[in-house]
A = this chain, B = another copy of it.
Amino acid sequence: MLLHDDRLLPAEPVTRGIARRLYAGVRDLPIISPHGHTDPRWFAEDKPFPDPATLFVKPDHYIFRMLYSQGIKLEQLGIARKDGGEIEGDPRQIWRLFASNWHLFRGTPTRLWFEHAAFSIFGITERLSAESADRIYDRIAEQLEQDAMRPRALFERFKIEAIATTEGALDPLKWHDMIRESGWGGKVVTAYRPDSVVDPEFEGFRDNLDQFGELTGEDVGSWTGYLEAHRKRRGYFIERGATSSDHGHATARTANLSPAECEKLFAKILKGKFSAEDADVFRGQMLTEMAKMSLDDGLVLQIHPGSYRNHNPHLFEQFGRDMGSDIPRGMDYVSALKPLLDAVGNERGLTVIAFTLDETSYSRELAPLAGHYPALKLGPGWWFLDAPEAMLRFRELTTETAGFYNTVGFNDDTRAYLSIPARHDVARRMDCHYLAKLVAEHRLDEDEAAEVAHDLAYRLAKEAYRL
């Protein structure tokens, strides 16, 4: 049997009993998915998903990272080369390669997510292996053709109450318009991700700016026009349901320059004669500008810092961005966030959500900051930290200083649509695991733990993201 009912709950019987009761209270709650990277086109077109390999293997950087680390080439996994070079074209071959390396995923969240989807969506009850690969492939493939497996049907089956996608500032949001116009009732909203027009080092930044000006009708050659363009564009996103912006900078640095300094820096950026330091300050300034705009338009500001993107230049040259070679770095949030917090940290109407890939900052910096500043909340474990043990550490390292109510529930943050129920289920189980320990050690009463479990599974995300 792939999925045990008690998976991820503590082994100790009394504690497990408590955890079971807590989990029973939250397992069937609707899903609030306030931040992620699913493709709005799926919901707009509602077409069937293709074959199992294209669904599970090729788009999942958790999967191909691990396979690559063990010597398997991305070409063997059917991942497109930028030069159009030859790659594996047969999804069944890709699937077999994946299946015969399934042991690599022991102890990883990929294992939990895949088996949850395979069992609960496709009814698979045997373990993936070289031997079972073809049977499982066929079983999934045949079901993918059914109407019940289309994006919207799954949306309802997954009990998604609301989901946010993430689009660049230049995105026309046509799929979101199409969803709205379709009359379908699923709540799919966008989020404003302006990195391509905020980061001077982004590929094509100057061209992006030109396009940004055209889209908004603002003079993006002036600092005030540029800010106005953001305000307008945020409004455009808000009309398509956006309740948040999102920012994926290399560091958590923020800045709060005077208007005159901003104009001068922006002019320098526009001329293209800026240093790496200038670019970093500019990105930092824009976080503060975005926070100030949030005071007016109510968008929640998300900061996802600390990833060294494309650490492997060979892979980047051959396959492009997001190919699994992003690596976390140590972050200093205490200095980095100070300019922004000085400007708006005491605002009660603002929500800034800080994420981290550096868990050493949980107890030392982020919990003390979120446990003090009214505007600052702490995002859940992200990316390399969205797995069971890491989730437990997140609670152990933050709760004693920041409590539960300076956190914002769970984000799946995924482009792997079928893993969404699995990811929320893992988060709910691990929160119940943690809470059950508190109850078993008489640090919290069970009625309170039940309320907290509900808040973490549903209410906090809904409220923090205003969904």
Contact = CB atoms under 8 A, between A and B. Distances in A.
17 contacts: A7-B441, A7-B443, A8-B442, A66-B371, A68-B374, A70-B374, A103-B448, A106-B452, A107-B399, A308-B334, A315-B346, A326-B368, A327-B369, A360-B364, A363-B384, A363-B385, A368-B384
How many copies altogether? Answer: 3
B442 A108 contact: no
Interface string A1-30: 000101111111111000000000000000
A111 B442 CA distance: 12
Contacts of A451: 103
A443 B388 contact: yes
A104 interface: yes
A363 B390 contact: yes
Given A11-B441, A326-B368, 14 more contacts: A6-B442, A7-B442, A11-B15, A70-B374, A103-B405, A107-B395, A108-B399, A313-B342, A314-B342, A328-B334, A328-B368, A363-B384, A363-B385, A384-B401
Contact of A112 (B387, B437, B443): B443
Contact of A400 (B312, B371, B387, B443): B387
B68 A372 contact: yes
Contacts of A65: 371-372
| Contact-residue size bin, chain A (C-beta under 8 Å from the other chain) | 35 or more
Given A338-B311, A389-B396, A403 B108 contact: yes
Interface in A69-83: 69-71
Interface string A195-221: 000000000000000000000000000
A440 interface: yes
Contacts of A358: 364
Nearest to A359: B363
A266 to B, nearest CB: 26
B341 A312 contact: yes
B106 A444 contact: yes
Interface string A89-116: 0000000000000011111110110000
A212 to B, nearest CB: 32
A312 B372 contact: yes
A372 B395 CA distance: 27
A312 B6 CA distance: 45
A122 interface: no
Contacts of A194: none
